[in-house]
């Protein structure tokens, strides 16, 4: 089973395009957890337990773990162990290095932590991305148009009359021989998302930026999905995991996840 | 003291532009070390002890540590503790994320590990780079032209008649308000290096790719230095740290480092 098929399977089974960003900030989790031995792990474990029927994926932005020091890598591993096998796990690492160094990063993220998918920065080109694509059942979402203000510094520069991100996408299409490439396009970029989906009708698109970043949910679903209303992976982080800062955080996250799933499914019903 | 001044100081004191890449691969270090509790740390400690008078910097490519698992982050910390204060330590992490996530990476690399400098990927633009530039005495080397084959996929694409990497450099010049920006240009790209030095006469340039990758040392020195014959940081990794695979590895690394320093200084004498 290649990565696209894995994603389709879980999206159909859960009837959900929701991905939860487990970008857990120790300063924002409920007071009552902070005295535990590993508050971040306990928080993640409970969020996963309360939301796993309603999602197709969990995404861990590794910056949130790297900054906690050495033991946090163990937390990443233990968090992944809490996630049911069929749900897609995304190591949002945005790595990218020269070939042999990228192979080392892939050794960690792909072989050791065994993320179902990673995010990869394209600037260093083909040999930097290849190690993340070595296994057909593990995908890589390559950054195309990001959700942040700095996206405009380079990603929109015109190359032969077309923005740089389209050059990236043209290359990614060539790298996609095993059907395990995806793209990252921010929900704050609805016009670009529409354009990208036309260029890659069958490729998974990871869409961060709904929720706290204020991206357009309707556009994310309408323009991000393939013709079957699938293969958009819509990530929400803070708006779900911090839906409540009190001891009812699991219930609040659960309700928020169901609401987001239902909103997305209503938009899918309308357009697909 | 800003980052440029720090670099100048150590380059003058050591009379050296050599940076050693501590990209330590556990499968390549001498047999006799492998039974120790932490072979990588012991290898690094001895290499540093044997070479520290002859270098201006040590660079740790974090991919080599990330792939060893959790305890390797402790090895990074302990390795840094072996390096004398005045020598520049470079966290070669090639990170880059949206603003708040980049801030988390910087929290780890800049505030916690306290690298003197980091390497940063420019694709996500200004807000992704800014957290690595917050302290004037800590620098960021932004990827411009990398040494690998994939460099040609995007970095050379023409934007308004000039390659993309020149657009990157134009932005980096604007970000350099605290004199702590640098660039990465591979030694395998001598023509581009010459061009880059003309555009940024006063900026540090980190030049990987001499040694095992076969880059042109003469060009790296002649074109990479500023008008005083300084501010090029010439990185060699494998050719120094694996100069011998036997128990004489420290002596061999020491000799190789002195030789490289002397070769570089001979070229500096000739051209500056």
Contacts of residue A211, Cβ cutoff 8 Å, sequence gap at least 6: A236, A237, A238, A239, A240
If one compares B137 and A26, the residue with the highest pLDDT of the two is: B137
The total domain count for chain B is 1
User: Which residue is catalytic, options A94, A134, A179, A218?
Assistant: A94
Across residues A100-105, what is the average pLDDT? 96
- Write the residue in A69, A98, A108 that is nearest to B66 by C-beta: A108
Among chain B residues, the shortest Cα distance to A142 is held by B123
- Write the residue in B63, B104, B123 that is nearest to A97 by C-beta: B63
Nearest to A123 by CA among A161, A88, A153: A153
Q: Are the Cβ atoms of B124 and A148 closer than 8 angstroms?
A: yes
Chain A residues touching residue B94 (CB < 8 angstroms): 95-97, 121, 124
Chain B residues touching residue A151 (CB < 8 angstroms): 124-125
The yes-or-no verdict on residue B75 having pLDDT over 90 is: yes
- Model confidence pLDDT, tens digit, residues A61-98: 999 999 888 888 999 999 999 999 999 999 999 999 99
Rounded CA separation B48/B43 (Å): 9
Query: Among this protein's residues, is A179 annotated catalytic?
Result: no
Specify the pLDDT at position B71: 85
- Write the residue in A69, A99, A158 that is nearest to B148 by C-beta: A99
Q: Are the Cβ atoms of A167 and B157 closer than 8 angstroms?
A: yes
If one compares A68 and B268, the residue with the highest pLDDT of the two is: B268
Interface confidence, given as ipTM, is: 0.96
Across residues A89-112, what is the average pLDDT? 97
Across residues B118-134, what is the average pLDDT? 98
Across residues B253-258, what is the average pLDDT? 98
- For B33, other C-beta atoms within 10 Å of its C-beta total 17
- Write the residue in B61, B73, B95 that is nearest to A101 by C-beta: B61
Among chain A residues, the shortest Cα distance to B103 is held by A63
* Measured distance between the N- and C-terminal CA atoms of chain A, rounded to whole angstroms: 25
The yes-or-no verdict on residue B7 having pLDDT over 90 is: yes
Compute and round to an integer the Cα radius of gyration of chain B: 18
Q: Which residues of B are catalytic?
A: 94
Q: Are the Cβ atoms of A125 and B151 closer than 8 angstroms?
A: yes
Specify the pLDDT at position B253: 98
The yes-or-no verdict on residue B212 having pLDDT over 90 is: no
Chain A residues touching residue B74 (CB < 8 angstroms): 70
Among chain B residues, the shortest Cα distance to A153 is held by B125
CATH number at residue B60: 3.20.20.70
Q: How many Cβ pairs closer than 8 A exist between chain A and B?
A: 174
- Model confidence pLDDT, tens digit, residues B140-196: 999 999 999 999 999 999 999 999 999 999 999 999 999 999 999 999 999 999 999
3-class SS string, chain B: CCHHHHHHHHHHHHCCCEEEECCCCHHHCCHHHCCCCCHHHHHHHHHHHHHHHHCCEEEEECHHHHCCCCHHHHHHHHHHHCCCCCCEEEEEEEECCCHHHHHHHHHHHHHHCCCCEEEECCCCCHHHHHHHHCCCCCEEEEEEECCCCCHHHHCCCEECCEEHHHHHHHHHHHHCCCCCEEEEECCCCHHHHHHHHHHCCCCCEEECCCHHHCCCHHHHHHHHCCCCCCCEEEEECHHHHCCCCCCCHHHHHHHHHHHHHHHHHHHHHHHC
Specify the pLDDT at position A175: 98
The yes-or-no verdict on residue A211 having pLDDT over 80 is: no
Across residues B63-74, what is the average pLDDT? 90
> How high does pLDDT run on average in chain B?
96
Quote the domain boundaries for residue B142.
3-271
Among chain B residues, the shortest Cα distance to A75 is held by B70
Rounded CA separation B71/A16 (Å): 37
Q: Are the Cβ atoms of B159 and A157 closer than 8 angstroms?
A: yes
Residue A148 DSSP symbol: S
pTM (global) more than 0.90: yes
Nearest 5°: CA angle at A139, between A133 and A142? 80
Q: Are the Cβ atoms of B105 and A143 closer than 8 angstroms?
A: no
- For B84, other C-beta atoms within 10 Å of its C-beta total 12
Across residues B18-25, what is the average pLDDT? 96
pLDDT-based confidence at residue A167 (cuts at 50, 70, 90): very high
Specify the pLDDT at position B211: 77
């Amino acid at each position: 089973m290649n990565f696209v098929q894995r994603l389709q399977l879980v999206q159909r089974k859960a009837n959900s395009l929701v991905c939860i960003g487990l970008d857990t900030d120790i300063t924002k989790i409920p007071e009552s957890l902070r005295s535990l031995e590993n508050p971040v792990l306990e928080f993640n474990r409970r969020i996963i337990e309360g939301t796993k029927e309603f999602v197709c994926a969990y995404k861990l932005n590794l910056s949130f773990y790297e900054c906690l020091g050495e033991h946090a890598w163990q937390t990443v591993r233990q968090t992944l162990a809490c996630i049911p096998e069929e749900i897609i796990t995304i190591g949002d690492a945005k790595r990218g290095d020269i070939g042999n160094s990228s192979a080392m990063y892939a050794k960690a993220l792909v072989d050791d932590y065994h993320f179902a998918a990673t995010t990869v920065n394209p600037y260093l080109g083909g040999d930097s991305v290849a190690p993340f694509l070595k296994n057909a059942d593990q995908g890589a979402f390559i950054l195309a148009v990001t959700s942040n203000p700095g996206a405009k510094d380079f990603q929109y520069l015109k190359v032969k009359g077309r923005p740089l991100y389209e050059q990236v996408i043209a290359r990614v299409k060539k790298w996609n021989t095993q059907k395990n490439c995806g793209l990252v396009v921010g929900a704050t970029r609805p016009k670009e998302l529409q354009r990208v989906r036309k260029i890659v009708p069958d490729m998974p698109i990871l869409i961060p930026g709904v929720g706290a970043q204020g991206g357009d949910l309707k556009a994310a679903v309408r323009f991000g999905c393939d013709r079957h209303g699938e293969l958009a992976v819509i990530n929400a982080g803070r708006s779900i995991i911090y839906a409540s800062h009190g001891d009812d955080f699991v219930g609040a996250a659960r309700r928020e996840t169901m609401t987001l799933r239902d909103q997305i499914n209503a938009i899918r019903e309308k357009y697909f």
